[in-house]
């Protein structure tokens, strides 16, 4: 019996960590997540598992993959390796496993198809600046910005009404956003679907790849997120 899990079957956070468990919920609800598979917590990287990893990679039908660690808690930082080719895949898995062990932690490893996204960003199911629960705040960047999972660069920001999807933020007539009206509507629709699976406010990392929307990560909005926006609004 194989020891690797498909993303849809990665529902137990004690085996796959919170990142994978959240994505599994979305995948099973037909919300578009990036195709991938999971090496559960505690699996030893031996020859048999290495061969299984390579077989699953071939089924992704891609030239390279993104590897992410999935810790037990969203409060623990994960690590991401992007654009990993087949010949480097096993060494990349070993590198992540060793890093996790050096930190005295446990984490699963998520392996997904690498995206060459034209737009990416993070959406919040409340407005973290004002804590207004009637608004979504959506950040966007050009391309697959490495800070989507870290928040280090200055994004384009829009605010939409949580009930109607209409733009709330007041912009001058000639000011343009990175997202067009159709993409905003698509993100709004997906956020409404995601909210049905959680009773708490969420931050959702997303990307448009070849004009198709994918969800990359979902996690609860925490004090660190709110403090970052409060600091920005004070400057």
pLDDT digits (tens, 9 = 90+) for 76-124: 888 999 999 999 999 999 999 999 988 888 999 999 999 989 999 999 9
Return d(Cα 208, Cα 215) in angstroms, integer: 9
Domain-wise residue ranges, the chain: 5-113, 119-234
- pTM of the model as a whole: 0.87
DSSP state of 8: G
User: Would you identify the CATH topology of the domain 119-234?
Assistant: D-amino Acid Aminotransferase; Chain A, domain 1 (3.30.470)
Give the C-alpha separation, 210 to 231, whole Å: 35
pLDDT at 234: 54
Burial class of 197 by CB neighbour count within 10 A (0 to 12, 13 to 18, 19+): middle
41-78 pLDDT, tens digit each: 988 888 789 999 999 999 999 999 999 999 988 888 88
- Write down the architecture of domain 5-113 according to CATH: 2-Layer Sandwich (3.30)
Q: What is the pLDDT of residue 227?
A: 58
DSSP 1: -
Say what the pLDDT of residue 151 is: 46
Average pLDDT over residues 168-197: 83
């Amino acid at each position: 019996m194989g020891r690797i899990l498909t993303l849809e079957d990665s529902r137990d956070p004690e085996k796959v960590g919170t990142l994978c468990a959240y994505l599994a919920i979305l995948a099973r609800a037909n919300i578009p997540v990036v195709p991938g598979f999971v090496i559960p917590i505690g699996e030893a990287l031996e020859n048999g598992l290495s061969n299984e990893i390579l077989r699953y990679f071939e089924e992704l039908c891609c030239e390279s993959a993104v590897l992410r660690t999935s810790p037990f808690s969203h409060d623990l930082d994960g690590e991401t390796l992007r654009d990993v080719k087949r010949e480097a895949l096993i060494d990349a898995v070993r590198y992540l496993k060793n890093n996790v062990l050096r930190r005295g932690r446990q984490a699963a490893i998520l392996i997904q198809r690498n995206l060459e996204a034209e737009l990416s960003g993070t959406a919040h199911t409340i407005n973290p600046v004002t804590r207004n629960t009637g608004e979504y705040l959506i950040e966007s960047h050009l391309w697959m910005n490495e800070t989507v999972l870290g928040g280090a660069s200055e994004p384009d920001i829009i605010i939409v009404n949580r009930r109607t999807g209409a733009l709330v933020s007041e912009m001058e007539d000639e000011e343009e956003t990175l997202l067009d009206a159709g993409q905003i509507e698509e993100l709004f629709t997906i956020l409404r679907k995601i909210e049905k699976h959680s009773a708490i406010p969420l931050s959702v990392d997303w990307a448009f790849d070849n004009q198709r929307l994918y969800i990359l990560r979902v996690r609860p909005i925490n004090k660190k997120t709110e403090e970052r926006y409060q600091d920005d609004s004070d400057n």
